[in-house]
Amino acid sequence: MKALPIIILFVAGGLFSATAQEEYIRPPSEPLTVVPFSMAAESVVLLKAVLVGHPDTLTFILDTGSSGISLDSTTADRLNLVPEESNINIRGIAGVRKAQFLYNKKLKLNELVIDSLNFHINDYEFLSYVYGARIDGVIGYSLFSRYILKIDYDVREIEICSQGPIKYPRGGYLLRPFIRTLPVQSARVRDHRKVTSRFLFDIGAGLSLVLSQEFEQDSAVVRRKRKRFPVEAHGVGGKLAMEMTLVKDFRLGPYRFRKVPTMVFEDVFNVTSYPYLGGLIGNQILKRFNVIFNYEQREIYLKPNTLYREPFEYSYAGMELYYINGAIVIGSIVKGSPADIAGLKEGDVVLAIGNNASQDFAQYKKALMTAKKWLRMIIRRGAELKEVRVRVQSLR
């Protein structure tokens, strides 16, 4: 594109002189497509896309905590795709493993075709169980690095735009994170003490705030008298034991959240590279903003949305629900938890919660989020039907 000359006029002693300068003006960012999305368990973003050359529509988690793009191993088998071995290690919160790749593939989001993608292969069966939806893969840096993404949680749409100059809307705040492949942002945690640290900005994590055990212990940020509950989380590599508690407040830029549910985990695989990171900020906080990701300029723009003042969930039942082969099944049970005390067992099939026998996975998950409440559950254990009452505890 030919640059236009800029003419600067100077007035001196009544005489005019003109100087011609040329400046390259980069084309502004332009919309390329708008992609609708859904929310799995009201926590992570799910996108529909098509792998070029295959008719099936696939479901991907959008994840700033992913350094590339990946495909589920079962999905790859179903599409008759044969990955290649590599010497690259993939590290996640629950483990490290060797990666296999599908090279030079194309992905279609509406009319937008993204080429030259190298998918690493992973097993996402457990994510499908946890979110009650078939998860075919995870989209991360491979998308964020090429485009400007505008995520609107109010209308549940993502506008994908070309890179270039952009004018941010009024009423928000511009973060300037460090981005290599993953965005890292400074934020402040306050409970027993006030501590500022760096955190992974992770919309693929369906939690609020996660702290590494080393950071939590070295900083003494959490009050010793805080209630702590053992829980089981899920990540690349499998299950992971954590402690669930809360912190008095958390500040991201000018935005402050009070009494934030917080997970503390032993970072065995050094995902946080402590002391580089204190932990991660998950999408239970980040979904409260409409977000513009502009990786090329190392900018993330936040604007509070209609979820901004939504209360956090403080419930604790000590069990997980899975959706397996069309049935809602109780997953792991934490010893000594409300679910354990009530007599529930791993593998019990949930037929109803309260008066709700709809088998709606999302509604059943939501029912477990109501703290300080007795839940009546009808379960099937083998050939036997049982009625069980669970007292859901509160973090507060």
Q: What is the mean pLDDT of residues 376-394?
A: 95
pLDDT band at 122 (very low <50, low <70, confident <90, very high): very high
Locate tokens 């941010």: which residue? 168
Q: What is the pLDDT of residues 135-192, one digit of tens each?
A: 999 999 999 999 999 999 999 999 999 999 999 999 999 999 999 999 999 999 999 9
pTM for the model: 0.90
In single-letter form, the type of residue at position 168 comes to Y
Arithmetic mean of pLDDT over the chain: 91
Q: DSSP states of 163-181 as a string? A: SS---PPTT-EEE--EESS
Q: What is the pLDDT of residues 299-344, one digit of tens each?
A: 999 999 999 999 999 999 999 999 999 999 998 899 999 999 999 9
Third-level CATH fold of 31-161: Cathepsin D, subunit A; domain 1 (2.40.70)
Residue boundaries of the structural domains of the chain: 31-161, 173-289, 315-394
**For residue 25, what pLDDT is reported?**
79
In single-letter form, the type of residue at position 290 comes to N
Q: Which of 12-21, 67-76, 332-341 has the lowest mean pLDDT?
A: 12-21
Q: DSSP states of 123-190 as a string? A: --HHHHHHHTS---EEE-HHHHTTSEEEEETTTTEEEEE-SS---PPTT-EEE--EESSSEEEEEEEE
pLDDT band at 9 (very low <50, low <70, confident <90, very high): very low
In a 3-state reduction of DSSP, which class is residue 81? Answer: coil
Q: How far apart are CA 164 and CA 146, in angstroms?
A: 11
315-394 in CATH: which number? Answer: 2.30.42.10
Q: How far apart are CA 294 and CA 161, in angstroms?
A: 10
CATH superfamily label, 173-289: Acid Proteases (2.40.70.10)
**8 Å CB contact between 302 and 288:** no
Assess whether the region 31-161 and the region 173-289 belong to the same CATH fold.
yes
Q: What is the pLDDT of residues 242-257, one digit of tens each?
A: 999 999 999 999 999 9
